[in-house]
Every structure is written in structure tokens, then in C-alpha cells.
Amino acid sequence: MQTKLSVSVLSADLANLAAQSRAALDAGADMLHIDVMDGHFVPNISYGAPVLSCLHKALPDAFYDVHLMIENPAFYAKDFAAAGADLITVHLEAEGVRKNPRAVLRTIRKLGCRTGLSIRPGTPVEELFDYLDEVDLVLIMSVEPGFGGQSFLPQTPERLAAVRAELDRRGLSVMLQVDGGVNTDTAPLCTRAGADVLVVGSALYKAPDMSAMAAGIHAL
């Protein structure tokens, strides 16, 4: 299966968000990755459902891969689903998730969205395994969530490989995504370890030829 590219629009020029998102899609991106931060779960604040709604109106045919780095995603999931989210990923460590992850994931699915579950670099990947039957996507963070432009953590391929092995063992068709510090050097490490959706932000927007970079990722 072709490796998919989900472009993190947090790295775009937000004054020209629709145009830069369109440029990424035209270059070959498969999804728009929307990083939502609340200043509590992570030490940064980004944007909320109104921004997604405006972007969806400008680009209604895009696939919106929404990554909620917030403490209470179930409370806000309805707003993001209504704004145009196609897939909503939540963090296992978030206060509003860890007590009952299945309930949160099922709430998202009832809203008509695909579901994703993510973990920070310090969380053992085995903590995901009980919930693999509830998700469409697993997101392994290869940096500490909260800011773009960080360096890729070297333990990431081993973590990806462990999740891929468990998915294969159970015969589950779940996308395995990686986010953080993904570029032309680290992308092959991720795909060789089993990732099939790469989140790329600053590396894509700073690339001399976005189309060539996107084609390179698809070919991995």
C-alpha cells in the first residue's frame, strides 16, 4: 500500500492557510493534519473548530486528519465533527480519555468520524494494545507534542515496529501514523518500521520542490 502524506498545516503561513493547504494538496498530500492544542495537555495553544470550519468551506474535498492534543476531547468532538473532521485522534494520556478510552472513541465514531489514538514518546506502546480494535489509526509521536520543528526521537522506529507487529499479529487493518521531525532522512526509517501515514510539516513547506518531496514519500 502506498505511503500516505498528511501535511501539518501548523507549519503553514496561517495568514494564507487555505492557499498553503491547497498548495500542499496540489503537491500530492493525501490529508490535512490539523493540530489542536489547548494550553493544558500541551504547553501551547493553536486553533479550534472555527478555523477548521473555515478551511473546510474553502477546501471541502480535502481529508481532515484532526489531532486533538487537549485534555477533554469528548467534550469538543461534536464541534470538530460538525466543522468537517474526517478522522479525530485523541491522546491516551489526556485527562478526559485515560479513565475510559473506549467510551471516548465510540463517542467520536457515533459522530460519523474515523477514530485515532495517540501516545507521547514516554508512554509504552503496549498501553495502546487494548484499544486497537476500536481505532482506524494509531499515532506514534516522534517528538514531545506541542510545537512544530522538533528533532525526531531515535527510539521511534522501534516503537513503530512494535505496534505494527501487534496489528499484524491480530490481523487488524489500522493505519499507523508517525508525527514529529519527519523529513527525507527520517521518513524511510518510519516506513521500514511499519508506518504507512507520515505527518510532515516544516520539512514539506521548506522543501525546494514540494511535489518532489511528496512523490518521494509516496514511493517509500
197 bridge partner residues: 4, 177
Q: Which of 38, 136, 179, 196 is catalytic?
A: 179
Q: Which of 30, 35, 38, 136 is catalytic?
A: 35
Let me know if 208 is exposed, middle or buried by CB neighbors in 10 A (0-12, 13-18, 19+). Answer: exposed
- In the residue annotation, 35 being an active-site residue is answered as yes
- For residues 119 and 89, the answer to whether their CB atoms sit within 8 Å is no
- For residues 68 and 36, the answer to whether their CB atoms sit within 8 Å is yes
- In the residue annotation, 130 being an active-site residue is answered as no
Provide the grid cell at 156.
Answer: 521511534
Q: Which residue has the cell 527520517?
A: 186
88 bridge partner residues: 66, 115
Provide the grid cell at 208.
Answer: 525546494
Range 96-131 burial, b when 16+ CB lie within 10 A, else e: bbeeebeebbebbbebebbbbbbbbeebebeebbeb
Q: Which residues are catalytic?
A: 35, 179
